[in-house]
Amino acid sequence: MEIAILFGSFLLLLILRVPVALTLVISSLLTALSIGIPLPAVLQRMVAGMNSFSLLAIPFFILAGEIMNEGGISRRLINLSNLLIGKIRGGLALVNIAASTFFGGISGSSVADVSSVGSVLIPMMRKKGYDQAYSVSVTVSSAAQGVILPPSHNMIIYSTAAGGVSISGLFMGGVLPGLLLAFVLMVIAYVIAVKRNYPKSEPMKKEEIPKVLREGILGLLTAVIIIGGIVSGFFTATESAAIGTVYAFIITFFVYRDVPLSNFRYVLHRTFKTLSMVLFLISASSGFGWLLAYLEVPGAVSDSLLSFSSNEIITLLLINLILLLLGTVMDMAPLILIATPIFLPVVSELGMDPIHFGIMLILNLSIGLITPPVGAALFVGSAIGDIPMEKVLKTLMPFYGAMIAVLLIITFWSDIVMFIPGLLE
């Protein structure tokens, strides 16, 4: 009965479009009342969920992304990508994917990626003769790399939910899958571009090349500083994020100088707004997760899945299918916090490393960011492209197929995730 109250109230409130964080809190409190658990005990668990040193890295990652976004880093990375691959047929589409790969490693957010890169490249692609729906499809599908390539605050959320999985291991585990995803998306985009005879980009003037290289590399160094500091062991994740933020601040306001220093208050406002939502969500999910454990839901789910089939392949396919379906109706952060304690014991029984599962989980849920009815990145891309979402979906199908193919490769070929983390042990 208590499990029915927990999940029934949760689903009902979601259907009523109550914000996810409030949904988690209300369903947790209702369940606690039905069990007879004192409400202060649930609130204590919610507060304890935010009492983690590793979570201090999240505000710095969000702030660094906002600073670089404000300072025009996306435009500079687009120029760098255009210099490297713009001469190929359908070059702007490939530039779009490359820029998302670069920027995603800095912002760690698919929605930020679509907003920044898409606001520049979608209008540019339309002007050059690219189909409107195709331009949006390329942008939103490549934005998924924003959450799988390091640094990604979603990996820190997963680390917390999984009981302290190595953040550096997660960061390095996302490198090869992220690059594989970028390559596969480029192949799809190139095949479509050749078929539709989309144009090549105009060659860049020689005198512009040094400036493009210098400014693009300076922007990329933000991610290099953060990742390098963590992987080398010289800094913790929090320290690297803080140092990367200081570097981003200096580059944006004192080197690029596209925006005045007075704009920093707007950056802080957006950062605090995002951070408050993330921390409230983490807090709410902690109370919900504690009740899941109290009611022994993870163990029941694990027993059910393992008894459904003793075949490892079928079990992993079933978990992926469940996550894909959940990702279409819920945002990534709450799903990471809810799904991790439920499914991590199952995959652990199958011998899957927590780092491997984390990358599989995050890539799986990133597909939900571009899938209706929630699909935040898809909604943003459609708004920028000024095109109904329904028209984009048909063009997105080949990209959906590519992303699911990469997801299956990552699921069943652990070496692609664990190779680099294994080198660093």
Render pLDDT for 40-76 as a digit per residue (tens, 0 to 9).
888 888 888 787 777 788 888 888 878 877 877 778 8
3-state SS, 94-122, equals HHHHHHHHHHHHHHCCHHHHHHHHHHHHH
Residues 103, 87: Cα–Cα separation, whole Å? 21
pLDDT the model gives residue 106: 66
Half-sphere exposure at residue 177, Cβ-oriented, CA atoms within 13 angstroms = 41
Host domain of residue 101: 2-423
**Domains identified in the chain, total number:** 1
Report helix angle 132-142 to 175-196, nearest 10.
170
- How confident is the chain (425 residues) per 10-residue block, as mean pLDDT? 83 83 88 87 84 80 81 80 81 85 71 79 85 90 82 85 87 91 92 88 81 86 81 80 88 87 90 85 83 78 76 90 84 84 89 94 90 80 86 90 94 93 79
pLDDT the model gives residue 187: 93
Question: By the 8 A CB rule, do 86 and 95 touch?
Answer: yes
Residues 145, 134: Cα–Cα separation, whole Å? 18
From residue 278, how far is each of 20, 232, 297 by CA, in Å? Answer: 11, 28, 25
